[in-house]
Structure 1
Amino acid sequence: MLSGIGPKEHLESHNIPVVSDLPVGQSLQDHIMVMMAHKMGKSPPPKPVDYSYIGSPLMMGYTSLNKSKNYPDYQSINFIMNDPTPMLQFCSFYFSYIDEICQTLYDKSIGKEVLFSLVILLYPESRGRILLRSADPKEKPIIYNGYYSDPIDLERHAMYVEDFAKIQHTEFFESVNAERVEPEVCGCENKYSTEEYWKCYALCMMVSGYHYSGSAAMGVVVDSRLNVFGVQKLRVADASVMPKITGANTNAATIMIGERAADIIKEDLFLRSRC
């Protein structure tokens, strides 16, 4: 947008000459995650600490509430932790939860094995946007993530978190007296309706999946060969060109966009060299 490619009115409001009037920065998408922790049996004896490595078994699952569907409703990422310190690092530094939440998780996990889980909304309907704060490239942009701006996202995410929480009543979890750790700061214990409780929990424990995409979508900002409409010799090849976020982690899809861009550029150069 600083180069003049973006919504005309927005660019002109910052006295930026318009090169191409396109909806850049609109339709921002991301996967929203809700964190959940279950403390289980007594943790095994600690091993010598290697602060350069955080090792933890990782399990990933995809769940469909309707078993007749051929695609999942939500994804879960699960870590088993024997030491609360790595969980504190995830909570505070990676996900930036408030101190009260992280301290509660740490205090209630001491001496216990903990299943640290993230329940991920794979198909969000909510959209955010990115705006310029000014024409100064040193100023950070204004980012409206738009999480849960479409009420259906909160309804679905609450339902998925409630479904995932049922693991507490499985045979294994009952055998180790598993108990879900709920930070009191969320204030959800006073919600009498099950639906309202899980909505409250989701709002308190939601966090970005860091899968930002869609802000320069194919079809409205770039064409099928990743050329920016109205601009010569300019392509975009990253997650921003996704018209709709993938129903899984965006990493592999983004790599393939880059690979496809390389093929397109080579094809175009080859065709021009033959002319």
Structure 2
Amino acid sequence: MAETYDFIVVGAGSAGAVIASRLSEDPKCRVALLEAGDRPPPAEAMPAACASMQLNPETDWMYTADAGKAGRGLHNRRMPVPRGKMLGGSSGINYMVYVRGHPGDFDNWAAQGAEGWSYNDVLPYFRKIETFNASNEITVDREAHGEEGPVSVGVRSPVIPASRAFVEAAGKAGIPQGDYNGRDRGGAAGVASLVQTNTRKGVRCGTYRAFLEGVAEQRPNLTIITKAHTTRVLLEGANGDLKAIGVEYLDAQRRTHAIHATRDVILSAGAVGSPHLLMLSGIGPRRDLEAVNVVCRHDLPAVGKHLKDHIHTALAFHAPGYGLTMADVGVSAGPDALRAPAGPLPANSADDANLSPELAALKAESERRIAEWMETGSSLIASSMYDGIAFFSTGLGDTHSHDGQIGFLPVGFDQAFFEGPLNVDTTRYFGEGAPHLAVDRENIIILANPVLPRSEGEIVLESADPMQPPSILMNYFGDPYDLKVMVAVMRKALAIADNWPGPNKPIWQVPPELAKKHGYTPGETPSDALLENLALHFCTTVYHLTCTCRIGDVVDPRLNVYGIKGLRVADASIMPEIVSGNTNAASIMIGEKAAEMIARDHGVKLGQFVGP
């Protein structure tokens, strides 16, 4: 007989880990949490190692997407779409840029019919999530932050001087300093700051570490099933009277199991996984389902539609005197990061006995740095290197929020990063041999990131086989408006570089083939055509897929799937509109709020209720 629980949560990521943890606070409530991956690997703890978990099938779903009108400078024009596959999900693989969103984002949700999701409604959950670590490095709206939550949020240590310079330059370019997670993110001028990261003493604080690790995962009423690939939701009844009664999943040996829920099945598999599961279960657009021989149990046309994502265009700069080198970052990551074939140390540590005095000293320094990080949390590797941030309004349209975001990285990364996780053709971006990407070169990157896109893509079911991923059609720049906003954000990013403090300004590295095509001479003002072409060739995803099961179309404001009893969706897919900033904090908030709504609907006793 199949195991039976009160609640089944599918996906232990940014929202799912929160929901399972909170519901299991009631010892009378039996909760099953299914996760296709396993526990996080050691690399998950090190903020600077986030890219190492991409393109690893143990920690990444390794999706790729059709880039629409973008991707002209990517290999095969495919956009990588990394999604976390482990306890903690994408909160264990992301870059830890902790951004709630503009208050106007959530008020806009409510205005579109998402009752109970206004900024005043969601702020208590953001506070509940967070323990904020004060710093004199940033301006803070203290009353907007939490003091006793499981997610630790603060500024990296040590602060890199170039990141301070970015904030100063943004101010000179018209973006004042402030708290971008505060109650007032600023007017049209926006706000600039060092980045608030979800780290604790220099270690990643994703939802596995914050909500599951330790006490929660040891509760007898919480069953965590890892390496469980959920294949469908089990339904009973006929169309018009359908109820979710459990799920089916495959274990690591591809054996089929079924478990049942007496109350709710909650899909928290993300903006790709949740619509995919709904469609595999016969819930979705009838025509799309029948095209791949899936019996349509409930025609719900918006499942998988309205996909939105953020993209940014990396503007690369040579910055002698203040940009970090990849070699220096590698030394801070420990001796294993310096081993062959990419590094100077032998591939086998047993050969270290024969090191030259110079390499022995390098290894000793690397050991000292990694030990300091482990002991104090202070290190170059205590951040993903996304260290500065700014938000502003371009004035081109949306007035309820900021439509422009600019990120700052005090390092230029290397060829392996651009060619691997980003899939960028570095010969086309940086020229033959990619000289800009030498590991000892001092570089910085400024990221131009429109954050209120109008283009919409979709998740499309390709097969009834649950092991075959769906198609991800991004449709970037499908609406020409988005390219206009991108150009405006790129110009603001270049203005920040032009206002850099000190005598040495960053030197913009324009892709040689585009410079030649558009007749660009270094130091002159680039044309709109050049900037457009740069974005169309080399923009990349910011990993912020949302809106594929959005409130009002697929779920109601309490996250119940329309037409199916006992089935909810709770993750980034339910956003009515993408937030104007990094989406992970909002996804965790969705999990926190969902847990409370579910608990109230079913009489479950949480440790704390913060909503009405």
The two structures have a TM-score, normalised by structure 2, of: 0.40
Equivalent of 1:32 in 306, 311, 320: 311
AA matched with 1:184: P
Q: Distance in 2 between matches of 1:200 and 1:108?
A: 20
Structure 1 portions without partners, runs of 5+: none
Give yes or no for the alignment of 1:77 onto 2:77.
Answer: no
Pair member with larger Rg: 2
Match of 1:207 in 2: 540
1:132 and 2:466 equivalent? no
Matched, 1:153 2:432: no
Q: CA RMSD in A?
A: 2.6
Give the conservation status (yes or no) of the 8 Å contact 1:189–1:197. Answer: no
Deviations 1:153-195 (A, max 9, x none): 011101211221123322536x21421012224x354236811
Deviation at 1:93, TM superposition (A): 3.2
Q: Which moved more, 1:2-11 or 1:160-169?
A: 160-169
- Paired residue total: 264
Q: Look up the match of 2:554.
A: 221
Structure 2 CA distance for aligned equivalents of residues 259 and 160 of structure 1? 33
Distance 2:308 2:394 in 1: 23
Quick check: 1:196 aligned with 2:474? no
Identity rate of aligned residues, in percent?
31
* Aligned counterparts, 1:33-182, within 5 A: 33-42=312-321, 49-52=331-334, 55=381, 56=385, 58-66=387-395, 71-81=401-411, 86-101=413-428, 104=431, 107-108=435-436, 110=438, 111-170=440-499, 172=501, 175-182=503-510
Distance 1:168 1:260, change over 3 A: closer
Q: Deviations over 1:224-272 (max 9, x none)?
A: 110101111110000001111001111111111111111111111119x
The 10-residue stretch of structure 1 (146-155 or 175-184) with the greater mean CA deviation from structure 2:
175-184
Q: TM-score of the superposition, structure 1-length normalised?
A: 0.86
C-alpha separation between the residues in 1 aligned to 2:467 and 2:394? 46
Q: Distance in 1 between matches of 2:295 and 2:490?
A: 47
CA contact (8 A) 1:188 1:201 kept: no
Native 8 Å contact 2:405 2:489 kept in 1: no
Does the CA-based 8 Å contact 2:307-2:459 persist in structure 1?
A: yes
CA distance in 2, matches of 1:112, 1:63: 31
Amino acid at match of 2:570: A
Q: How far did residue 38 of structure 1 move?
A: 1.1
Q: Distance in 2 between matches of 1:169 and 1:99?
A: 25
Provide the rounded CA distance (Å) in 1 between the counterparts of 2:469 and 2:515: 35
Q: CA deviation at 1:120?
A: 0.9
The change in CA–CA distance for 1:130 and 1:112 in structure 2 (over 3 A counts) is same
Superposition map of 1:220-239 within 5 A: 220-239=553-572
Structure 2 counterparts to residues 255-270 of structure 1, below 5 A? 255-270=588-603
Deviations 1:183-214 (A, max 9, x none): 224x3542368111111111122001100001
1:36·1:118 contact (CA, 8 Å) conserved in 2?
yes
* Structure 1 residue 125: Cα displacement: 0.1
Task: Look up the SS of the partner of 1:150 in the other structure.
Answer: coil
Pick closer, same or farther for the CA change 1:4–1:262 going to 2, 3 Å.
Answer: same
Q: For the Cα contact (< 8 Å) 1:87–1:106, is it kept in 2?
A: no
Specify the SS of the correspondent of 1:235.
strand
Decide which of 275, 281, 284 is 1:3's aligned counterpart.
281
Q: CA deviation at 1:88?
A: 3.7
In structure 1, give the amino acid aligned to 2:319: M
8 A Cα contact 1:161 1:202, kept in partner: no
Residue type matched to 1:210 in 2? Y
